[in-house]
Structure 1
Amino acid sequence: MNKSKNITKTAKAIILVGLFAMVLVPAIAAAQDDVIKWRLQSFVPSGGSDWKKSVVALRDKLYERTGGRLDIELHSAESLMGSSEIFPAVSRGVIQIGHTSPAYIMDYISTASLAWGPSSFRNVSEAAYFWKHLGFEDIIRREALEKHNIHYFTDLLYFTRLVLNKPVKTNEDFEALRIRASGSLAKFIADSGAATAFVSGSELYQSLSTGAVDGAHWGGAQNANDLSLYEPAKYHASAVLGIANEIFIINDQALSSLPEDIQTTVRSTLEEHFWARTNQYEIEELEMLNQLASEKGVQTIDLPEEIVERMDKATHDFRHSEAKKSEYTAEAVERLEAYLGVLGYL
């Protein structure tokens, strides 16, 4: 009798477990279906500092803050496509999100050259105020969305400076230089007195080592150190060439199709990421320069005053040339010059 009752209880338990499984399995499947998969292509290699601190950090924050509902698959430089192809790929929806530089999107966005060009700012906080509080980033965003269905978010701001393999004490020293340069900074450096040449990042170390070029701009000290440029080049010029930055771009349809709460999380996280990453880079730049000085004998040098004055004039000419490109650049330059006037730089 007891044996029969035990069998009956066991059977009931099996039935209950089975019924629970029938309910649970669809629930698990539904939860899995709710996970949104995106692909991100970056222009930086996985070994670089920006990969971990910008790309991986953002992916992890979004995964955590959405409870795993937004899962971004990461691809480093050149893994899916070339860096110049990231912007059109995001615009067409081939990938949902990209991490790139304004330097790679100047053929598509007229304001990109102002975001990656000669700068009259003297510290990063001045630039950040222009980007965020005076609406420069909003102008870029409007152009990117209206023309290319792309949402534009600045990753971080920082200054780009020259790395040199010889000291510069006179105007003649600077004019004798051959400097690796690209984009709008190539004309800016030439207008300031030095010769320029384009060298790819993969060839830059060797070019500096052999003297094929005497200097280069490659972001800040941290970016230059990622390529070990301070081994052949022991001089870091203090003069600001331009305001540099990296960006995240998101396809409009991909963003707008997200559940509303995830859209809000994406936008707020990117905004928070900008301030945290910009501040982090600025502090770590100072730490890097101190480390380079003590460990590699790198010297920070000032350029001759006449060269700095030429750079100021070249920056002025650049702004006025860019203002003629589009209604977007005209508005941006008008706001910029009004701000520079307030700062006392015009």
Structure 2
Amino acid sequence: MNILAAIAVSMVLAVMPLISYADDKADVGIMQKKPLIIMDQGSFTVGGRVIKESGTYDESHALSPAGQEKHVDQGYVFYQVPANAKKVSLVFLHGAGQSGASFETTPDGREGFQTIFLRKGYPVYLMDQPRRGRAGTSGVEGTVKPVADEALWFDIFRFGHYPKYFDHVQIPHTKEAEEQFWQKGTPNTGAFDPKLAAQALSAAVDRAGPSVLVTHSQGGLPGWLGAMENGKVRAIIALEPGVGFVFPKEEAPAPLTSSSPFGPLAPYPVEMEEFLKLTKIPILMIFGDNIPEKPSPHGGEDNWRVRLQEARLMAEAINRHGGHAEVLHLPDIGIYGNTHFLFEDRNNGQIADIMEKWLEKVL
């Protein structure tokens, strides 16, 4: 982007009325933001492979795949670099049923992590993992079925007990915000493959340079694996990692049982040599509110009881081997009402500030 285009972008952003973040004791207000100057932006694909069909291409039978190729299983990345950018980039990876759009704008129209961290001076890279969103060209067959399942996810995301929201819950839940949230979801076009996603994530880091991975939920496992693969990863912030807590094979705990509809939570064992790579970088895992300490018959909450427990076990294993991993349960520091979508909750600016202070401490 040339300087004139950058100035034009900043002028547009300067006159846009944007909503400030608020906690559960304050109303969300309208305020003007300072101009945000973007010095560079664009998009690119990462990873992937090429399917090659045998035979010879014949124009008279162009619908036949014989002799043709298909590029598949790539990731997609959109990036922006602010003026006077910090030297370390943030590379974001979404969770299940989501895409990079999760980090753009909140359901009620406030700035998402993309813009919040640009304002903090970080180059921001938003990735759509292979077989999802703008990276939907899959190398394996898949079926997209229109299954009515939003009550299930309402509970899993800890919005409340469907259809009633928890008191003081931080997720915006006006009628319009609900519609925006659910319509932002996007299905897999092929099976989720954590190693494939990790390879694409590593390739994104190669383009971004020294980076902090910011992962969410299902994106946690590709984040761990991607950091093992790429020495340019400087730190990881995992927002409620949901699957694939990694342990050395010889130290993997037994699966944790719960009333979660997804069944027991099994660890993801790796070779000790690979696991030790996680001890070389600082790691922060953040969890929100309404996670029970004891087994609960409510599967949506109990699902996260065992995940928080396993996150602590993983952090203990990393630290036992000389690393630096932390688990932050927000109610422990007096922050309440946060859901699985910390970056879309009404206090997402407060969460971003916590992340920024941690990064300033460890980098």
Q: TM-score, normalised by structure 1?
A: 0.27
Of structures 1 and 2, the one scoring higher in RCO (CA 8 A, sep 6+) is 1
Q: TM-score, normalised by structure 2?
A: 0.26
